[in-house]
Amino acid sequence: MATTTEALGEWIHRPMTGIDPDLIPFFEGIKQHRFPLCRCKRCGSWWFPYTLCRHHDDIPEFDEMEWATSSGRGTIFAKVVVHQVIDPAATAEVPYALAIVELEEGPHFPARLVECDPHAAQIGDRVEAVYFDSDRAGHTMVFFRPAG
């Protein structure tokens, strides 16, 4: 089975642009190979990408929320296998799986599945975050692979 870096094409080294300033702490965390989520200081609920907690009658101020490192583990909640792409840079990678991962802390996170047969990955399978550092672009991207 190919490793993450062998399975991904040149597109991985493209600069990341248009990042929402509220999500910069997330991208700073994954650059350190941590998986940060926003957590409510009042009730402990975890959120992504929300920076506020909807579990209260009054909306907590941002200072009542914090970015905290989560487990980076979860289960596949939904999955689709991509067989056709628009971007020619990804043509050699098809088929590949895209998933919604239900993180152990609760939020759902959209991700690409790597290091697995895209057709074999099933809803309910345990997955974990894996990081790819692009030394050329200076960023880190997060994907999910089978846990274990």
Residue by residue, DSSP assigns the chain as ---HHHHS-GGGGSPP----GGGHHHHHHHHTT-EEEEEETTT--EESS-SS-SSSSSPPPGGGEEEEEE--EEEEEEEEEE---SSGGGGGG-SEEEEEEEETTS-EEEEEE-SS-TTT--TT-EEEEEEEEETTTTEEEEEEEE--
- Give the domain-ending residue among 30, 53, 70: 70
Using CA atoms, how far apart are residues 56 and 40, in angstroms rounded to an integer? 10
Residue 60: the pLDDT is 64
Same domain assignment for residues 142 and 111? yes
Same domain assignment for residues 107 and 45? no
Same domain assignment for residues 41 and 84? no
Q: Tell me if 143 is assigned to some domain.
A: yes
Q: Tell me if 43 is assigned to some domain.
A: yes
Same domain assignment for residues 91 and 135? yes
Same domain assignment for residues 60 and 86? no
* Separation of first and last alpha carbons in the chain: 15
Same domain assignment for residues 103 and 30? no
Q: Tell me if 9 is assigned to some domain.
A: no
Same domain assignment for residues 89 and 144? yes
Using CA atoms, how far apart are residues 73 and 26, in angstroms rounded to an integer? 16
Same domain assignment for residues 98 and 63? no
Which residues sit opposite 40 in a β-bridge?
65
Q: Tell me if 133 is assigned to some domain.
A: yes
Same domain assignment for residues 29 and 62? yes
Using CA atoms, how far apart are residues 26 and 111, in angstroms rounded to an integer? 14
Domain span at 54:
20-70
**Which residue bears the tokens 């914090």?**
66
- Find the radius of gyration of the CA atoms of the chain: 16
- Give the domain-ending residue among 38, 70, 102: 70
Same domain assignment for residues 38 and 56? yes
Residue 50: the pLDDT is 73
Total of domains in the chain: 2
Enumerate residue ranges in the chain where pLDDT < 50. 1-3
Using CA atoms, how far apart are residues 81 and 121, in angstroms rounded to an integer? 10
Residue 1: the pLDDT is 39
